[in-house]
Structure 1
């Protein structure tokens, strides 16, 4: 009998004690629910311009939060006037060296493909890089209900402003390799708000308002234009037409051909603006800056006149004197040596290009002596 009475008394104590536990400080969304979304990557392959500098945005994609704006929060006790917002990236690989992209130090992570890092950003009034477990402050404020500020300070409910856009970006961090970037390696962004108990207690409660993940994969392809050496057989004319400095022989046309190019789809502007956006299942195309392709021609020996595209002849026995080889562009104007010149008309689906030039003998001194008249130059392509 006594044992039975003791057990009954304990049961009563436990039942009475249960409601007391429920009084712990707690906050939750009272209107609707937190945003939990998965965004599909909108590209399946990526080719990186060979000469793009570290820090270049290779691809960005944004999620427009349809639930952005004011989110109603309710707490079991009075809350402070402001919620402290912070975000972090969960499930990412190791951090990229801070020296690779100093502006994103500590907030850019490996993707599994060398030379490409991932960074998450939150945009509202400003754009902030989200670090792994790193706190950052947003325009998240406790707003008074019914325009009564006192209620926000002392009440048990309030509202917060939720950022409108999350953005994920792939950024060049070094020499780029090849491979497959899985969405799972890019992590997921989580935005939380911490509310503190108004009485000054250290007690606080956190509410997840947005969780965003990714699906899909992107294959990184290593491909550059194929080029070859160019030999230009100049006219073996007699020197009779050359009767004074500045005189020239007829020009010979030639071409520098680029084949098997990766295409020129353009790049995201600095800072990642104009990202691909996904909202309610729709996709908004990005705003891109055109790729640039520049060619530079350098003489193997000191030029006679670089500004007028005049190459000196190679030093060899029985070489001619008083003459050089002048390079001209497609319109017949002198090609400036040792200077990058842009190649126009680059299209996204361009796989081959032809740069048209010409060369001719040009008299550079008062007297010309006959002999071998060869010249050599190198050309370099810069693709960004």
Structure 2
């Protein structure tokens, strides 16, 4: 009589177990239905960008240009792309926090590892002494340092079933060449864009779900010619003549001016260079190149005149001393033009003060017309040899 009772109880246990399994499946289905998913607007979007040299592609860089100076600056504007993401979730799950990112990594460094100069990652190029920096900009953020991981401001959505955001992830590239050390003055150096790094850009979300989309590979093409040659200079002998002591009867009396020239030979073309006060801008959409600010900074030459025997004052070079030499005399120099400006022996003299107009002609010669004379500064004076020597140095900027 007990067997039927046992069979009924076993049946109840089996039904209870089956019921629990079904409830568990229903709970799992409910969780999956609520899980939010995020994806890019266009999962297939990808571009392999080749950014060209923007602007004239040539610059003249003097050896005195300071390390850290910008010598080229070009900007490349990308045709606007409506990039972004969509996130979807089940009704009733809002509010949902969306966390997005844009990353830029360096995937190739053909010229070696970069250094940090100020706020910029500066990559070496194929020319020693010249580095390359790039700024990638978006309406959300900008950076001169790489690799970089831009974390966007978290976005909290109260939309019932989903939300999206569109943005132009990288609006433009600013490319700079920067002087990082001495540059050979042998002539013209060609900086190859193929020696620049290659970048990879991606976007994605980390919440409420993860996705990552590589959308750009950025490489560079073309070349920039950097002129670093200097002028040839020569020694100049100036005969100031023989004079009687009586020709200088009083203190501050002088001899007649004697004209002479300093000639700079076989000079480089002076194209100027870009210092960051302006830049050339190429618009990918229109195909047009425009300029902003003053892209080109003109080259300049500074001359320093230094007396071998010291100065009597700012504008008078002492003559040599020793047995049989004159005393109380110095030598003055001035320009031959109407300004008759005395040459400063204690500070740099710009080329514009010496009547020089620099050109873009390669191999040009420049003549600097000067004059010199004796100058008596002593209350008493002694006759003798009155030889002087002044060295001149040309500094290129």
TM-score by length of 2: 0.75
Say yes or no: does 1:29 pair with 2:59: no
Say yes or no: does 1:197 pair with 2:212: no
Give the whole-Å Cα distance in 1 for the aligned partners of 2:308 and 2:123. 43
Contact 2:278–2:291, Cα closer than 8 Å, also in 1: no
* Aligned equivalent of 2:351, options 343, 349, 353: 343
Q: How far does the alpha carbon of each residue in 1:332-373 deviate from its partner, in whole angstroms, 9 at most, with x for none?
A: 222221201211243444733233321111111123322211
Alignment coverage as a number of residue pairs: 343
- 2:26 corresponds to which residue? none
- 2:370 corresponds to which residue? 357
Give the whole-Å Cα distance in 2 for the aligned partners of 1:275 and 1:189. 22
Contact 1:89–1:130, Cα closer than 8 Å, also in 2: no
Give the whole-Å Cα distance in 2 for the aligned partners of 1:163 and 1:215. 19
- Give the strand-richer structure, 1 or 2: 2
- 1:244 corresponds to which residue? 250
* Aligned equivalent of 2:328, options 303, 308, 322: 322
| Partner SS state of residue 249, structure 1 | coil
Contact 2:38–2:85, Cα closer than 8 Å, also in 1: no
* Aligned equivalent of 1:118, options 118, 132, 139: 132
- 2:193 corresponds to which residue? 183
Say yes or no: does 1:40 pair with 2:52: yes
Q: How far does the alpha carbon of each residue in 1:18-74 deviate from its partner, in whole angstroms, 9 at most, with x for none?
A: xx9xx9955223399455432222455554321111111121221112216x53433
| Partner SS state of residue 176, structure 1 | coil
Contact 2:43–2:213, Cα closer than 8 Å, also in 1: no
* Aligned equivalent of 1:279, options 278, 284, 296: 284
Contact 1:276–1:285, Cα closer than 8 Å, also in 2: yes
Q: How far does the alpha carbon of each residue in 1:234-285 deviate from its partner, in whole angstroms, 9 at most, with x for none?
A: 1323333311111111111222222222222222224x74245353433235
Give the whole-Å Cα distance in 2 for the aligned partners of 1:180 and 1:292. 22
Give the whole-Å Cα distance in 1 for the aligned partners of 2:89 and 2:268. 60
Say yes or no: does 1:95 pair with 2:88: no
Say yes or no: does 1:150 pair with 2:168: no
Offset at residue 128 of structure 1 (A): 2.5
Say yes or no: does 1:372 pair with 2:364: no
Give the whole-Å Cα distance in 1 for the aligned partners of 2:74 and 2:101. 27
Cα root mean square deviation, aligned: 3.2
| Partner SS state of residue 195, structure 2 | helix
Give the whole-Å Cα distance in 1 for the aligned partners of 2:268 and 2:155. 52
Say yes or no: does 1:62 pair with 2:75: yes
* Aligned equivalent of 1:71, options 70, 83, 88: 83
Offset at residue 221 of structure 1 (A): 4.8
Give the whole-Å Cα distance in 2 for the aligned partners of 1:328 and 1:136. 61
* Stretch deviating more after TM superposition (80-89 or 166-175): 80-89
Offset at residue 124 of structure 1 (A): 4.7
Give the whole-Å Cα distance in 2 for the aligned partners of 1:188 and 1:62. 17
Give the whole-Å Cα distance in 1 for the aligned partners of 2:359 and 2:167. 45
Bigger Rg, which one: 2
Gaps of 5+ in 2: 1-31, 91-95
Q: How far does the alpha carbon of each residue in 1:210-244 deviate from its partner, in whole angstroms, 9 at most, with x for none?
A: 44322223455541111111211113233333111
- 1:128 corresponds to which residue? 143
